[in-house]
Amino acid sequence: MFRSNVGGKHLMRLYTAFKRDGFEIEKIVKYKGKRGILAKSRSILNYDTGKPKSAYYLEGSPYEMGYLMGSLAEREIALMMDYTDRVVFSFIGSKVLEKIKLIQRTLISLVYELSKPAVQKLPEEMREEIRGIYDGCKNINPKTSVNIEHLTVLNIGIDIICSMVYSGDFFKKDTKGIEPEDFRVPMMCNALTVCGKSAGDGYYFGRDFTFPSSDVFQDTAAPIIYNPEDSVSYKGRRAIPFVNIAAPGMIGSIAAMNLEGVALGVNMSPGANCTPGNVGINSLLMARMCAQYGSSAETAADLMAELPKGVSWLYIIADGKTGRSCAAEAGAPIAEENLAADISQGTGAAQSSDTYQRLDFTKSEIFSRGPDFTQYPWEEYRPMLPDLGYIREHATVPYHNGVMFRWNDYRYPSEYLAFNRRLWTYHNEKNKTDKAIHPDAFDEKGYINKTGEENCPSSFYFAPQREENDDILVVTNHYIIPEMRYFAMNRWTQRIVGKRVNDIQWRYDELNNLIHDKLRSKGSIGFEDARELISFLSPSGRNKDYHADNPRSRDGKQLRIEGCISVFDLKKKVVESHYGYFCDKWVRITLPEYFDKN
């Protein structure tokens, strides 16, 4: 129990802030004058364990914050040590025992092998935080099962697994008899941003990161408040305090929001633009870096473009101060290019889709050189697709270091949609199917797959952008920018996705329509509306049976949340997160309350 005479003015602020958010401080540790806090909810329990949910506060240098976390949560970190090994099972779709064993053995072996050089390429501060976590655990429990190798794999392993599975490089060359259909990719992520008039002049960001809990994460997930010391920086960018939704031991972010009102999330997006031997910084680590150093959506996007990437992912960046948001469609860079970045200040990544119109350069000059996207689709489909000349003539945003940004004011080049009919026709003839294009399939509120349908011609089509209102952005698990779609049309990759492509497209269309329905009925969307919308797949939502096959609690009565659902108010800088079990209450953090207001 917290005693008010421990510490000073800032500690009293922390005590009050936790209390307002429904927590009671349970443990305070100090290291070199820096403070770490474990707080427990007074009313929100994990259904299965019956224990109150936790929240953490950390301050100091990267090493010190890691050390404090290790000292506060050694038990939870120890539970997370086998998380990556367990997640491997979620990527195996084969029913053949010999193949299951082979894939499991191969993936785990390669993850540990490739993580060793990969960690050396991370920014020093990330390596220092991992080392601090280990030392903190070791200090609190000399016999801890936590070790550096498992901590490294916990933080890099998912990217290595995805890069190998998406590209198939290792399996096509080294593991005979393994086919794409022997894998299953656990991708059911959703995101939305609503701002401006559509949000009653508020700004709301919803995140549904659906990923296997592996019977661990549901019991360890927590909000973690980071307060980096003033000296923490990355290439001249000063660190910003932020709240991180993750689990102890994870230094990356499932979702995060900083004190400037900038938030980030990440969705899976299978593409062939992966380099397993050089994964760089991706997914949770990328979201963490950009949340910690992004003072605006634009600066977060510039940093994302600058950082090395080696795996295909979708990132959502939202900025409550400027009203900007974007879906960053990213992966390993496929060629050296010299695009708008060469003729504008900075990387040019954060520019709107009309960048070329604001510069003294023609569109064709900016996009005259660049990567050859056409080399990635399956050869049989290439004659039905636009060639490189067409791509460059119809380019709308620059491709820089593996990423293209679809900002909330992005205008989709609708000419690409004309190629869809022959792609559908060819796919039907080749596979003897009768997949249909509905009359409204490419309209603002249309559906390609209505409930229960499977109308997508695998991944061989140009996915329409539904959002025509600049106040709204919707993201699921597929690239929309036409150039980036080519990476999903790779023969191996599209077989990895399989029929899941229909679900990906349906979720995008369904969430878009639910947003429109809410605006039509209420005029604008508030915080509670945003929470309801991002929970559209929950048992209490419109699609109540969507997660019916999720793992259940030990007594079999409650469905587990695989991953975490969060909704942010980026004006008030509040986040509410739902994890554990669907019957559990949401956890709330009001970020500004934890910091001095002077």
Q: Are 576 and 587 in contact (CB under 8 A)?
A: yes
Q: Are 168 and 496 in contact (CB under 8 A)?
A: yes
pLDDT at 344: 35
pLDDT at 338: 42
List per-residue pLDDT tens for the chain, 598 residues long.
333 334 588 999 999 999 999 999 999 999 999 999 999 999 999 999 999 999 999 999 999 999 999 999 999 999 999 898 999 989 999 999 999 999 999 899 999 999 999 999 999 999 999 999 999 999 999 999 999 999 999 999 999 999 999 998 777 666 668 899 999 988 889 999 999 999 999 999 999 999 999 999 999 999 999 999 999 999 999 999 999 999 999 999 999 999 999 999 999 999 999 999 899 999 999 999 999 999 999 999 999 999 999 999 999 999 999 999 999 999 999 864 444 433 333 344 554 444 333 333 344 444 445 689 999 999 999 999 999 999 999 999 999 999 999 999 999 999 999 999 999 999 999 999 999 999 999 999 999 999 889 999 999 999 999 999 999 999 999 999 999 999 999 999 999 999 999 999 999 999 999 999 999 999 999 999 999 999 999 998 889 999 999 999 999 999 999 999 999 999 999 999 999 999 999 999 999 999 986 5
pLDDT at 288: 98
Task: Decide the pairing of beta strands 324-330 and 313-319.
Answer: antiparallel
Q: Are 585 and 573 in contact (CB under 8 A)?
A: no
CA-to-CA dists, residue 462 to 347, 412, 420, 483, angstroms: 27, 11, 6, 9
pLDDT at 339: 40
Delimit the domains of the chain by residue range: 193-211+266-279+294-578
Residue 555: phi and psi, rounded to 5, are -90, 0
CA-to-CA dists, residue 587 to 222, 282, 317, 532, angstroms: 9, 27, 22, 15
Q: Which amino acid is at 136?
A: G
pLDDT at 174: 62
From edge to edge, which strands make up the β-sheet containing 190-195? 472-475, 190-195, 203-210, 563-569, 574-578, 587-590
